[in-house]
Amino acid sequence: MIRLPPFLKDSDKVGIIPPASKIATSHIVKARKLLESWGLEVILSSNFNSSHFQFAGTDSERLVALQTFLDDKEIKAIFCARGGYGTSRIIDQLDLSQLKKSLKWVIGFSDITILLNKLFLNHISCIHGPMPLNFFEKDSLESLDILRCFLFEGSYPEITFKTRSSNKPGYAEGPVVGGNLSLLTNSIGTVTNIDTHGKVLFIEDVDEKLYRIDRMIVQLKRAGILEGLRGLIVGHFARIDDRKKFGYSLQEIILGHTVEFDFPVCFNAPIGHVMPNYPIIIGGIINLDVVSRSASFRLKQNPGN
């Protein structure tokens, strides 16, 4: 049974941390002020402004900073400042024993996928959603408003979107899991690989060639990740432009590798590396309704009730 952390209230302390690639505090000044305008007290992790090659400090520094936030009972939510690369280098050393006693929300996406999946595997709900580095990108306001309303009130709207491609229509209901395609593929054969049977899977990625996306989808299929899915949501696949060289489009790749399955598939979901990046409540039960050129999903029940 998935456990929901408590929702936030005015004056709660929250933390911002870069658990992977480095970032300076100057890059999140506006994001910090936004969280403070929500009534939150914002604490920055000890590894902010740290630098070790491309990382926000050494593995040890990043592990200590993240472990400190996970263990601190006064910190009610953790916003990962950015992704990049590096969370997988420390994921197996994290101790969740204190977190299980005092749950808190963890929010992030991209490289943070591996942390979200570790939480899910430990029956803790978390949020795939906007990070402080991305708070003020174009078309971010609605995503941030949905995030705020959920964190404080447990409310979540029905998300409806049009697609530029032909979907595979159908209806699905089940727990939603997923995240960055590269991280999901890299987790196969590890302790952070998720069991997708009976679930709705969502995927997104950035800066990948189509042949590499094809290779990753094939790997998911060969590993049984697509077997037993109830639905597949395809989010943003940003900055991909090599169809002439590879031959197949993103849609052709995914539909071709799922043709024998009867679950619905929708494209262009507002999830991932460009805004809007609507929050996804990992482990939440969703209804997915897919028609030829549009789709919608919603939480089956208001988690706040």
Give the active site residues.
Answer: 110, 204, 273
Residues whose CB falls within 8 Å of the CB of residue 99, separated by 6 or more in sequence, listed in order: 70, 71, 124
Cis preceding linkage at 276, omega within 30:
yes
Do residues 279 and 151 touch, judged by C-beta distance below 8 A?
Answer: no
Separation CA 62–CA 69 (nearest Å): 11
Q: Which amino acid is at 233?
A: I
DSSP string for residues in 237-258: EES---HHHH---HHHHHHHHS
Tokens found for residue 263: 């679950």
CA-based nearest residue to 78, from 97, 61, 102, 60: 102
Other beta carbons within 10 angstroms of residue 98's beta carbon come to 12
Do residues 288 and 264 touch, judged by C-beta distance below 8 A?
Answer: yes
CA-based nearest residue to 213, from 244, 176, 249, 164: 249
Q: SS3 for 181-241, per residue?
A: HHHHHHCCCCCCCCCCCCCEEEEEEECCCHHHHHHHHHHHHHCCCCCCCCEEEEEEEECCC
